[in-house]
Structure 1
Amino acid sequence: MQNVISEDANEPKRAEDQKQKIRFTKSSNDQFYTELTKRVNRYFKDNNISKQANGEMIFKTILILGVFVISYVLIISNLFNVWVLIPLAIINGFFTALIGLNIAHDAMHGAYSSNERVNNGLATAFNIIGANDFTWRISHNLIHHTFTNIPDHDSDIDQIPIIRLNPNQDLWKIHRFQYLYTFFFYSLTSLSWVFIKDYALFFGPKIAAYQKQPFPKKEIAKLFAFKAIYYTLFLVVPMITISLPWYAILLGFLLLHIVEGLTLALIFQLAHIVEGTDFPRPDQQGSMENSWAVHQMYTTADFARKSPLANFLFGGLNFQIEHHLFPKICHTHYRKLSPIVQATAKEYNLPFIEHTTFLGAIKSHMKVLKQLGAA
């Protein structure tokens, strides 16, 4: 990434109009992460297991990719009427989101395998479903994971102006209703990725608030090549093979993305914009109050940790605290690591924010949206 975003230590270069640089405090609370890392490493050593993908992860990969491919083939087979195609589109949209949450996400973090060729190969799935792995590694892996919930730095809490996701954002009158209408915009998340967001990141002057250098030409070529493949597979081929009016096929395409977008947006937002999480700001010199690891404990939340279904479907993102602290560990290990993290946080008098159920986390997210939208 150093050829794309200029870095100073662990930090991208701020754009000229926002020059403040972030520095995390080096203090005694660094001992928390040192001790936690020792305990996590001991867990893997004592159990003689790898930090990368295990049998569960390989099974999930085969299942998710299999359902995605089969549902797509059935859709374009022209064997079914519209009442069968609708649930097939919903299934395909949901499993498209699962590819991103489970397979591509781990691969792009380098957590799926110790072999980078395997990680890069699986990350290609992200491009095939219409997104772009190159921009994701920058905006998510580098920027979001470093500056979690810091207003004007973390692009995940600084989206379109009509949604107010942090207290530093301009407050509009319409925001008082955002806890009701925001979910509509969440449903457009993947459509934005496919048609707008990636192009804006490639050809805009900056990513989030950080100045970027020109992207490599091979990445630009890859962007257009994979976008063309996606448009062909999900728009052109259905138009040719399915005996329905063009507008019906477009509606099916829209339905697919509503399911995909809502799934993706909800899972990510429930990890940072819920009750208990903070939006820390740097002082005038750009220094944060805590070390990076302690900062994650104040800005990140888990949810539905004891739900087998959530653990299987959500790519470990319901264990978001564990993921932010150890992004290079495959998510299928987080369930066992979570008690270690929770106990260590308690020893160091640090918060461990969690919501016990998925619906409880949604309710908490809506409450925070309502609070952020209030005058």
Structure 2
Amino acid sequence: MKSKAKFPCLTGNSFYAEVRRRVNKDFKENNRSTNANKLMWFKACFFLTVFLVLYFVILLLPISTALLLGLTVLLGATCAFIGFNICHDAIHGSFSNSKRINSFFSFLFHMVGANPYVWNITHNVVHHTYTNIPGHDEDIEVAPGLIRICNEDELKPHQRFQQWYAFPLYSLASLSWVFRKDYKKFFQKSVGACQHTHPKIEYFNLFFYKFLYYFVFIGLPILVMPLSWWQVAIGFVVLHMAQGLTMGLVFQLAHVVEGTTFPVTNADGNMEEAWAEHQMRTTANFATECRISAFFLGGLNRQIEHHLFPKICHIHYGRIAGIVKQTALDFNLPYHENATFLLALRSHYRILKKMGRPELAD
């Protein structure tokens, strides 16, 4: 088993200590909670209501095939938005200061096809600790052998075309998650360099809630809807293509764009920079001034703030962003951001092209 990468200990007036001091001071002086506010609760109710309405309209009402497919695409995107806006914060423990409320909203991850326990290990523990470190952060291994995003990955001939086929592959990410990823991560010996012993109840939860999800989204539609099984199967795939593309693009644009790095350990197996400085070099924001992005993406377009303060609800990232950016400037650290979603998408495209054909790089 590979050893865990270690970050150097903080000494003196570090960037992380200072940015935490400034952010905590802001919340204290303005007497604000770091958890959900009224807008956050509205978002949670909004996305859950849209999900339920779409699901039961698709399941019960006699509508045309074209409209059925359109609503299925919307349902897939809504599932991603529930993950972004509700479950993500809850699993981080930032939605509420109540463990019971966080547990309830974490549980909703099952209804979009994902296992919250596995996500906590792969994302909260591994990805947030070892962001963009090859061999440690498995979140950057989107399609090993097919997509190359860093110099440590082996270059293969077909990857010269990856800037074209990567995006269709992203749309399959959710389908893979539902049928493969959770099982694989749960039963492999380690995730990155982290080993885990799973509580017995999690074995039951994995299989029971996966079966329940398959019944709700495959079995029940076959029983209730006036469609053949293969038509339901097509609808299920369409739903997950919409969900997968939405998730895949958002996560990629936060870590795999121009400017972000993929640091490796030194000869002693250690990282050269402290953890917070590492986050500033491996993470990027996009479309931060777009209110639509802020509403739908659950703060994932402000990935820098999220990685530094995962215990703060994403609804507050906009107000602390100026503090984080100014502190980074004071410590001569980068603050990567693309002004719009389209600019971030173009940057990601160029990274894919460069990694697939490094001989064309400037």
Q: TM-score, normalised by structure 1?
A: 0.93
Opposite residue 259 of structure 2, the aligned amino acid is G
Opposite residue 21 of structure 2, the aligned amino acid is K
**Equivalent residue in structure 2 for 1:273, among 256, 263, 267:** 256
Opposite residue 212 of structure 1, the aligned amino acid is H
Q: Which moved more, 1:282-291 or 1:327-336?
A: 282-291
Contact 1:111 1:328 in 2 (8 A): yes
Q: Does 1:169 align with 2:157?
A: no
Superposed displacement of residue 60, structure 1: 0.3
Superposed displacement of residue 26, structure 1: 2.5
SS of the aligned residue for 1:346 comes to helix
Which residue number in structure 2 is paired with residue 333 of structure 1? 316
- Residues 9-48 of structure 1 mapped to structure 2, 5 A cutoff: 16=1, 18=2, 20-28=3-11, 31-48=14-31
Contact 2:4 2:193 in 1 (8 A): no
Which residue number in structure 1 is paired with residue 288 of structure 2? 305
Which residue number in structure 2 is paired with residue 288 of structure 1? 271
Q: TM-score, normalised by structure 2?
A: 0.96
Contact 2:92 2:311 in 1 (8 A): yes
Contact 2:47 2:78 in 1 (8 A): yes
Which residue number in structure 2 is paired with residue 183 of structure 1? 167
Contact 2:69 2:235 in 1 (8 A): yes
Give distance in 1, aligned partners of 2:235 and 2:6: 47
Opposite residue 193 of structure 1, the aligned amino acid is W
The verdict on how the C-alpha distance between 1:140 and 1:30 changes in structure 2, with shifts beyond 3 A counting, is farther
Superposed CA offset, 1:249-268 (max 9, x none): 21111111000000001101
Contact 1:29 1:290 in 2 (8 A): no
Question: Tell me, which stretches of 5 or more residues in structure 2 are unaligned?
Answer: none
Opposite residue 211 of structure 1, the aligned amino acid is Q
Figure out how many residues of one structure are paired with residues of the other and give that number: 357
**Equivalent residue in structure 1 for 2:178, among 188, 194, 207:** 194
Give distance in 1, aligned partners of 2:175 and 2:61: 24
Contact 1:30 1:294 in 2 (8 A): no
Which residue number in structure 2 is paired with residue 203 of structure 1? 187
Opposite residue 257 of structure 2, the aligned amino acid is V
Question: Tell me, which stretches of 5 or more residues in structure 1 are unaligned?
Answer: 1-15
> Where does structure 1 differ by over 6 angstroms across 4 or more consecutive aligned residues?
none
Contact 1:78 1:241 in 2 (8 A): no
Superposed displacement of residue 288, structure 1: 1.1
Give distance in 2, aligned partners of 1:27 and 1:130: 39
Superposed displacement of residue 28, structure 1: 5.0
Give distance in 2, aligned partners of 1:220 and 1:361: 39
Contact 2:6 2:269 in 1 (8 A): yes
The verdict on how the C-alpha distance between 1:166 and 1:29 changes in structure 2, with shifts beyond 3 A counting, is farther
Give distance in 2, aligned partners of 1:348 and 1:328: 23
Give distance in 2, aligned partners of 1:29 and 1:171: 42
Give distance in 2, aligned partners of 1:277 and 1:137: 24
Which residue number in structure 1 is paired with residue 101 of structure 2? 118
Contact 1:26 1:290 in 2 (8 A): no
Q: Does 1:249 align with 2:227?
A: no
Superposed displacement of residue 279, structure 1: 0.9
- Let me know the Cα RMSD of the aligned residues: 1.2
Q: Does 1:262 align with 2:223?
A: no
SS of the aligned residue for 2:219 comes to helix
Superposed displacement of residue 206, structure 1: 2.1
Contact 1:235 1:253 in 2 (8 A): yes
Give distance in 1, aligned partners of 2:166 and 2:129: 26
Q: Does 1:103 align with 2:103?
A: no
The verdict on how the C-alpha distance between 1:27 and 1:217 changes in structure 2, with shifts beyond 3 A counting, is closer
Give distance in 2, aligned partners of 1:161 and 1:206: 20
The verdict on how the C-alpha distance between 1:368 and 1:48 changes in structure 2, with shifts beyond 3 A counting, is same
Give distance in 2, aligned partners of 1:26 and 1:207: 24
SS of the aligned residue for 1:229 comes to helix
Superposed CA offset, 1:112-154 (max 9, x none): 0011111011001101221100010001000000000111111
Opposite residue 60 of structure 2, the aligned amino acid is S
SS of the aligned residue for 1:48 comes to coil
Q: Does 1:86 align with 2:69?
A: yes
**Equivalent residue in structure 1 for 2:49, among 66, 70, 75:** 66
Superposed displacement of residue 79, structure 1: 1.9
